Amino acid sequence: MAMRWIHDFSEGTDNALAAAISSAKQGRLTDIAHLRSLAWGTLQYARISVHPPPIGQFGVPEYGELVGAKYANETDKFVGTILAKTLCHLAPTTITSMTIGTQDSGPVIPLVEKLDPVPIPPRTEGPHAIVLVIGIVAAAAAAIHLISKGAAVLNNELMRMEETQRLIARQAVAVQTVKGHAEREDKLGKTIPWNDVELQLIDSVRQTQVEHEEKMDTKFPSPFDGAFNLDQLAKDAKEGFNSILPLVGLGVVFLVAK
């Protein structure tokens, strides 16, 4: 058995993500379509790429595989880890088996797990896109669990917490920031260094994750194997280091003393 979520973007992924980011920046999502788009956008840009993952056996891009060793450098891994970890904060789960389908803001449709391949909704005209998320790593499993709750998740106790709303708002800015960086890399055809402003925006998500863990009095799991060690980073920060800057050109993250 596996965890699988297939989502149908009737207006395409770019339009859906833009609407989700605009809404999420306010901190409180009111449309389940926006939460679904932000979850997908997180998995897309945690890869630090504008290109979707390869087409899988079901004929659509298959998300869910994130591996620390595949990042171009430590700074990319730092960024990808932070984006992906937010999903673990939004939906901690121990569920190991689930197959669901959704379209835009429509209801969650349980799919028969024994069906192979997963039923794919028919395509329509326009910028239509269908993606499949497989719960290979903790972040992807968390995304599927989050989506499985349907629209009711928007009003649960976790989502109403001030720290959660701040995390969502900063996540939206971070996803937009990484998307822009990945687009510039794609245009230039090469890896480019992260600038200070980009890293500060992304690190604000990490700082909010720390606050969220303290409020929840729990430690959320690493989002994938080989992820950047954010726990050590937080420990170092408490011992007198408070900012993160890239060594330009080498893609290495350094802590700078107060």
- Phi-psi label, residue 256: left if phi above 0, alpha if psi -120 to 50, beta otherwise: beta
CA dihedral 139→142→148→152, nearest 10 degrees, is -120
pLDDT tens digits for range 199-240:
999 999 999 999 999 999 999 999 999 999 987 776 665 655
Nearest by Cα to 207 from 86, 94, 67: 86
Residue 155: other Cβ atoms inside 10 A: 10
Side chain identity at residue 164, one-letter code? T
pLDDT at 16: 95
Nearest by Cα to 116 from 8, 6, 254, 232: 6
CB 31 within 8 A of CB 105: yes
Give DSSP secondary structure letters for 2-56.
-EEEEEEETT-HHHHHHHHHHHHTTS----HHHHHHHHHHHHHHTTS-SSPPPB-
CB 151 within 8 A of CB 36: no
Name the DSSP class of 194: P
pLDDT tens digits for range 175-199:
999 999 999 999 999 999 999 999 9
pLDDT tens digits for range 7-52:
999 889 999 999 999 999 986 788 999 999 999 999 999 999 999 9
C-beta contacts of 48-52 below 8 A and 24+ residues apart: 48/72, 48/76, 48/79, 48/80, 48/178, 48/181, 48/182, 48/185, 49/182, 49/186, 50/179, 50/182, 50/183, 50/186, 51/186, 52/131
Mean pLDDT along residues 230-258: 52
Does position 1 have pLDDT exceeding 80, yes or no?
no
Distance between CA 243 and CA 66 in Å, rounded?
Answer: 26
- Cis bond before residue 52 (omega within 30° of 0): no
Q: What's the maximum distance between 2 C-alpha atoms anywhere in the chain?
A: 57
pLDDT at 94: 65
The crossing angle, in degrees rounded to 10, of helices 230-238 and 196-216 is 90
The crossing angle, in degrees rounded to 10, of helices 32-45 and 13-24 is 110
Number of H helices, E strands in the chain: 8, 7
SS3 label, residue 107: coil
